[in-house]
Structure 1
């Protein structure tokens, strides 16, 4: 999942958790707010009755009476204003036929669902009545008892919760949207960093990133730039080292070819001469035909060894492109494979572009790649047809493309992972020339393609 989506998902999870916590808090606060309203109503009504009580005592000029009878008339509109909606207030001791004075119950709050009306009282408990004395200094003045209406309390709590949750939802949606936009804007440079890393993976190490405003992203950009510079430097050093190793190896091969030619060739010639002399002498005497036959077998074995030595010297000495040129050496390579056996698969050679001026390491590398790919296709597959395609791409992209395709099947991934000496050698040569090598599946087999830049 993309980083932006992950952060937004986590943000939404946090918002949902906060919204749930806000809902629980709103439920508790709304339910207990009824208790606070009940206590406040009892306190206000008690103060109002206290004023009436002392006023009535002063009018009658009887401060020593323990109880005032009858109770002053307190059921007025002014007293109704002191009672919160959903709360009933009762004066005790109550007079005969007196009913509690209740605040407005009709139309307050919203009708809650049944599950809410059943769950909330179970977990939060019921509302208790609140008792307040009319006068703390005169116990005989009576008390005020305020009792909340349970149905009205649930309705008020449900309405309060809906209002709080509605505001919380709007705020959560706004926070989530704005935070998502902020996160997306803050992480937008990450796409440029990923693109730069992808270019570096393709070999374009000198990748310049824009300057980011965020300090962390700016540090990442600088680190990517430094990494690209170091990778390019290391690649150049490795290519130079590989070229030097190839040169040393070629020098060693040429030196070995000279030693084999001088030492083994001379000794084999001597053996052949001695065998011919023995055969001639034995033929003159005509008495010991076994000696002549042995000498003849020695001569034949010596000729076979000399032929094998000549083939070895051909492989060890300088490659053909340095003598014949790339085009002629490729034609010679294909003709040599064709002439070895009539049972060999058909080899098609396709040359495009001007190959006359290609020489040096590029020509040698192209020849070795074609030689190794043809050898692998002929020895390790049941191919019936092999195509060798050589194309020079001129213009700004001056490069040489070598592609060998066969119809012998094969697993491209397994071959690409192979650590054989042949593939390892051409990988090293192509990398030393600054090129690239790819092994991909073809229509009915494998396709090995190498690109060698000629400008380098």
Structure 2
């Protein structure tokens, strides 16, 4: 999952938790607000009755004080206005057949669900009654007792919760939406960092990144830029070391070729001359003697060794492509393979572009790639047709493409994973020049393609 979606999902979980906590808090506060309304109603009614009590005391001093209140006037509209909705007030001691005076409870809210009423009563309990004395100076004046109607109290709490939850839900949705936009905007530079890493994976190590506003992303971008610089430097150093290694190896090959030519070649030539003399002498005296037969066997073995030595010397020496040019050497290479394999496979040489000025290390590397690929196709596959294509690409690319494709039905994956010295050698040569080597499945066999920058 994308990081933006993960952060948005976590934000929604946090918002949901906060919304749940706000719901619980609103439930408790709404339920306790009924207790506050009960106490406030008792206080207001007791103050109003206290005023009535003192008025009756002053106006009707001949009456006994215990008969001053309650007076009939206290159950009036003005007193009803002092009682909060859903609260009932009772004067103590109550008169005969006297019902509590209750505030208006109709239309204070919709009926709550049964589960809400049961949950509130289970966890928060019932509301307690509140009593207030009419007169603190005369305790015999009576008291006012206020209590909440349970059904009305739960309806009020439910209506309070619904009103608050609507506002909280709208705020939660707004917070989630705008926070999601802010998160997406903040993490937008991450796509540029990922694109830079992908370019580095394809060899473009020196990748510039803009300066990000976020400190963390700026640190990541700076680390990626430093990593690219180090990778580019390490790649350049490796290419230099590889070129130096190839030069040392080429010098050693030339020295080995000289030693083989000077020592083995001369000795084999002497052995061949001695064997020819023995064969000629024995042939004049006794044509079918054992000595003549042994001499002929020595001559044949010596010729085979000399032929093998010449082939080895040809492979050890530097290809003539460095001096003669790539095109002439490739034509000579293909002609030599055709002469050795007169029937099959058929080798096609396709040269595209101007190859006349391709010389030096690039020409030698291209020649070695073509030579190794042709050798592998001829030795390790049952190919009937091999196509060697050399293409010079101009323009911005400015590179030399070498492609060898056969129809031998080989497994490209196994060839690519091969650790043989031949493929390893051409990989190192191509990499030393800043090129690339790829092995892929062809239509009926294996295709090996190498790209060498001509700027090398």
Category of TM-score, reference length = shorter chain: over 0.9
* Cα distance between partner residues in 1 of 2:191 and 2:296: 78
SS where residue 350 of structure 2 aligns? Answer: strand
8 Å CA contact 1:66–1:138 kept in 2: the answer is no
- What whole-Å deviation, never above 9, does each CA across 1:197-224 have from its counterpart, x for those lacking one? 2222222222222222223322333322
Q: Is the aligned partner of 1:23 residue 2:45? A: no
* Cα distance between partner residues in 2 of 1:407 and 1:389: 15
* Cα distance between partner residues in 2 of 1:403 and 1:339: 22
- What whole-Å deviation, never above 9, does each CA across 1:53-100 have from its counterpart, x for those lacking one? 33333444489x673455223112221111111111111211112111
Unaligned runs of 5+ in 1: none
- Residues paired across the two proteins, number: 455
* Cα distance between partner residues in 1 of 2:44 and 2:411: 92
Note the aligned Cα RMSD (angstroms). 2.3
Match runs of 1:81-160 below 5 Å = 81-160=81-160
SS where residue 430 of structure 1 aligns? Answer: helix
What is the CA distance between 1:255 and its match in structure 2? 0.6
- Equivalence for 2:70: 71
Q: Specify whether residues 52 and 419 from structure 1 end up closer, same or farther in structure 2 by C-alpha distance, changes over 3 A only.
A: farther
Q: Specify whether residues 348 and 288 from structure 1 end up closer, same or farther in structure 2 by C-alpha distance, changes over 3 A only.
A: closer
- Equivalence for 1:334: 334
* Cα distance between partner residues in 2 of 1:409 and 1:129: 97
- Equivalence for 1:3: 3
* Cα distance between partner residues in 2 of 1:240 and 1:307: 37
Q: Specify whether residues 295 and 366 from structure 1 end up closer, same or farther in structure 2 by C-alpha distance, changes over 3 A only.
A: same
What is the CA distance between 1:41 and its match in structure 2? 1.4
What is the CA distance between 1:315 and its match in structure 2? 0.5
* Cα distance between partner residues in 1 of 2:144 and 2:106: 23
Q: Specify whether residues 316 and 139 from structure 1 end up closer, same or farther in structure 2 by C-alpha distance, changes over 3 A only.
A: same
- Equivalence for 1:245: 245
SS where residue 439 of structure 2 aligns? Answer: strand
- Equivalence for 2:393: 393
More displaced stretch, 411-420 vs 101-110: 411-420
- Equivalence for 1:370: 370
- What whole-Å deviation, never above 9, does each CA across 1:114-169 have from its counterpart, x for those lacking one? 33233332332232333333334433222222221222222211211111111111
Unaligned runs of 5+ in 2: none
8 Å CA contact 1:4–1:187 kept in 2: the answer is yes
More displaced stretch, 349-358 vs 406-415: 406-415
SS where residue 67 of structure 1 aligns? Answer: helix
Q: Is the aligned partner of 1:234 residue 2:234? A: yes
Match runs of 1:34-433 below 5 Å = 34-61=34-61, 67-68=66-67, 71-73=70-72, 74-286=74-286, 289-342=289-342, 344-433=344-433
What is the CA distance between 1:266 and its match in structure 2? 1.1
SS where residue 272 of structure 2 aligns? Answer: helix
* Cα distance between partner residues in 1 of 2:3 and 2:416: 33
8 Å CA contact 2:69–2:141 kept in 1: the answer is no
- What whole-Å deviation, never above 9, does each CA across 1:238-269 have from its counterpart, x for those lacking one? 11111111111111111100000000111111
* Cα distance between partner residues in 1 of 2:435 and 2:253: 24
Q: Specify whether residues 222 and 257 from structure 1 end up closer, same or farther in structure 2 by C-alpha distance, changes over 3 A only.
A: same
TM-score normalised per structure 1: 0.93
More displaced stretch, 233-242 vs 321-330: 321-330
* Cα distance between partner residues in 2 of 1:324 and 1:243: 21
- What whole-Å deviation, never above 9, does each CA across 1:264-321 have from its counterpart, x for those lacking one? 1111112222222333343344399122211221111111111110110010011131
8 Å CA contact 1:387–1:405 kept in 2: the answer is yes
What is the CA distance between 1:13 and its match in structure 2? 1.4
* Cα distance between partner residues in 1 of 2:381 and 2:24: 73
* Cα distance between partner residues in 2 of 1:248 and 1:212: 47
What is the CA distance between 1:352 and its match in structure 2? 0.6
TM-score normalised per structure 2: 0.93
What is the CA distance between 1:327 and its match in structure 2? 1.3
